[in-house]
């Protein structure tokens, strides 16, 4: 708490203006009485602000926690054991032999990456490469008298293929949530889009359609329908995890909707303090045209007269200032030189 106050003081930022804090969700941050967010709320009240501080659990961190529900242990244990045999220190000759083996048979890839459980989503790359090289890996392990019988098991290979596809989808979502300049509503829209995709994938797998699961499609016979009940169940559990971890966002969705589409919201459905200003805005042809022509929301709200629309302007400013993730902070920690430039 002292470190945060010192940083705000050195930057000349009034504590009373604080609206949002993004954290990694740890108890030391979110504890009800002694957590950092709770202490900040108390300090902000003492500073004379009537607005409560909004604490947000980093969206990227929550997405990674949701992803952990997709842990096919019977698949991952075999993959990790095999990759470790090839790559781990102490088996250096195996690694060299494996690279030579792949080169001799002109395989699509020249190696299989090492897997670390520190970053869960990193397993997507390992799984994809392992799946693509499964035949070559099987032959190589046999030459080392370490056969992998699962690679000859059609059911296990199908589970591996499904695991490859869903981790690739999760990796794509993770990348969409990263980057600078992304507003909180945009990040939550990305998560909602993924949940909608989950429902689509469930219905398609129930009908033996694999259009968005390329690896699974490659090992599924078109003329032999297979029961995908287990895969559908995993997608349902994943969707339930997203609903559980993002339940606290629901109260903010109406404000996000007003912010992103002020001309499409019914004033009667908006908070009372915004209703009159929304009516004035929606009936103003000039601002409606500006909204239509603006390159982005920031440009539009910068041009919105604060004197005429004080509450709407303040609401927009708060949403724009919200950090949906701790991405920028983690980038600085990973590259200290970037902090000096800032």
Please name which of 322, 335, 338 lies closest in space to residue 59, comparing C-alpha atoms: 322
Q: How confident is the model at residue 118 (pLDDT cuts 50, 70, 90)?
A: very low
Q: How confident is the model at residue 275 (pLDDT cuts 50, 70, 90)?
A: very high
Residue matched to tokens 């000349």:
12
Kindly report, residue by residue over 216-244, the tens digit of the pLDDT: 999 886 555 677 889 999 999 999 999 99
Q: How confident is the model at residue 106 (pLDDT cuts 50, 70, 90)?
A: low
Please name which of 207, 115, 196 lies closest in space to residue 163, comparing C-alpha atoms: 115
Kindly report, residue by residue over 156-214, the tens digit of the pLDDT: 999 999 999 999 999 899 889 887 778 899 999 999 999 999 999 999 999 989 999 99
**Long-range contacts of 191-195, Cβ-Cβ distance < 8 Å, separation of 24 or more:** 191/59, 191/63, 191/242, 191/246, 194/169, 194/242, 195/239, 195/242, 195/243
Kindly report, residue by residue over 27-80, the tens digit of the pLDDT: 888 888 889 999 998 888 888 877 788 888 888 888 888 888 887 889 988 988
Q: What is the reported pLDDT for 316? A: 93
**DSSP letter string over 181-249?**
S--HHHHHHHHHHHHHHHHHHHHHHHTT--TT-HHHHHTS-TTS----HHHHHHHHHHHHHHHHHTGGG
Q: Global pTM?
A: 0.83
């Amino acid at each position: 708490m002292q470190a945060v106050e010192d940083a705000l003081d050195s930057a000349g930022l009034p504590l009373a203006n604080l609206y949002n804090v993004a954290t990694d969700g740890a108890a030391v941050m979110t504890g009800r009485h002694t957590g950092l967010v709770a202490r900040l709320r108390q300090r902000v009240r003492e500073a004379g602000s009537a607005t409560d501080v909004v604490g947000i659990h980093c969206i990227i961190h929550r997405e990674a926690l949701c992803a952990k529900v997709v842990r096919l242990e019977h698949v991952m244990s075999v993959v990790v054991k095999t990759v470790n045999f090839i790559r781990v220190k102490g088996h250096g000759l195996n690694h060299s032999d494996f690279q030579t083996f792949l080169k001799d048979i002109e395989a699509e890839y020249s190696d299989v990456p090492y897997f670390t459980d520190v970053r869960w989503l990193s397993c997507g790359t390992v799984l994809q490469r392992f799946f693509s090289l499964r035949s070559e890996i099987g032959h190589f392990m046999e030459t080392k008298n370490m056969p992998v019988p699962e690679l000859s098991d059609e059911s296990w290979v199908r589970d591996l293929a499904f695991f490859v596809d869903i981790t690739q989808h999760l990796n794509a979502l993770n990348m969409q949530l990263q980057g600078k300049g992304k507003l909180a509503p945009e990040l939550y829209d990305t998560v909602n889009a993924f949940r909608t995709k989950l429902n689509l994938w469930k219905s398609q797998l129930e009908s033996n359609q694999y259009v968005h699961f390329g690896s699974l499609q490659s090992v599924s016979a078109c003329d032999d329908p297979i029961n995908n009940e287990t895969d559908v169940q995993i997608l349902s559990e994943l969707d339930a995890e997203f609903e559980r971890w993002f339940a606290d966002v629901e109260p903010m969705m109406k404000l996000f909707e007003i912010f992103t589409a002020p001309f499409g919201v019914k004033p009667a459905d908006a908070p009372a303090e915004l209703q009159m200003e929304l009516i004035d805005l929606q009936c103003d042809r000039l601002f409606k045209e500006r909204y239509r022509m603006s390159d982005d929301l920031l440009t539009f709200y910068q041009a919105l007269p604060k004197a005429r629309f004080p509450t709407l302007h303040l609401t927009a400013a708060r949403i724009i200032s919200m950090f949906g993730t701790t991405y920028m902070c983690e980038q600085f920690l990973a590259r200290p030189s970037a902090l000096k430039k800032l």
